[in-house]
């Protein structure tokens, strides 16, 4: 004859270590709550990352309204005025206009190969003393239309 199995008893534990089962209502809502918390955390991370990388675009007219110069980096854009581009050592000096106001730009850094007079450009940097915009990044606006070269005749 086989002896009956004995149930092993757990040692008694302190009342604060006993686990009570979660109520059904909480157990059903827990996944939804976890998804909501994760979505909020991802949204907060994305928003804080975007805020640090944002640099606002201003026109020369808007920039002229700031006498002392705004704190921090900004972008200014417009058309490069004809006959205003000149090289000064390792820097490039030119004027941007939006049709109403103009701003003098002193750019130190790489110049895009398609940069030329009459072209739209955006300079990123800080407004220096005397209203001269000191740029270290220059972007050229160009058309998104592609035209094939004319065939040689």
Is this structure's pTM higher than 0.75?
no
Number of compact structural domains in the chain: 2
Band (pLDDT 50/70/90 cuts) for residue 128 is confident
Q: CA 153 to CA 147: how far, in whole Å?
A: 18
For residues 47 and 71, state if they share a domain. no
The pLDDT assigned to 66 comes to 62
Per-residue H/E/C for 114-151: CCCCCCEEEEEEEECHHHCEEEEEEEECCCCCCCCCCC
Band (pLDDT 50/70/90 cuts) for residue 55 is low
For residues 37 and 75, state if they share a domain. no
DSSP one-letter code for 105? E
DSSP one-letter code for 65? T
Mean pLDDT of the chain: 82
Band (pLDDT 50/70/90 cuts) for residue 38 is very high
For residues 63 and 93, state if they share a domain. yes
């Amino acid at each position: 004859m086989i002896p009956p199995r004995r149930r092993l008893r757990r040692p008694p534990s302190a009342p604060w270590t006993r686990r009570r089962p979660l109520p059904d209502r909480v157990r059903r809502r827990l996944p939804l709550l976890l998804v909501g918390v994760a979505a909020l955390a991802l949204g907060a991370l994305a928003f804080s990352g975007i805020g640090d990388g944002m640099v606002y675009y201003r026109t020369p007219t808007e920039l002229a309204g700031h006498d002392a110069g705004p704190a921090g980096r900004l972008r200014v854009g417009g058309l490069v005025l004809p006959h205003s581009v000149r090289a000064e050592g390792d820097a490039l000096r030119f004027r941007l206009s939006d049709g109403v106001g103009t701003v003098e730009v002193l750019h130190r850094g790489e110049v895009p190969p398609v940069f030329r007079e009459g072209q739209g450009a955006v300079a990123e940097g800080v407004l220096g003393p005397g209203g001269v915009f000191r740029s270290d990044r220059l972007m050229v606006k160009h058309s998104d239309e592609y035209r094939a070269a004319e065939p040689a005749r």
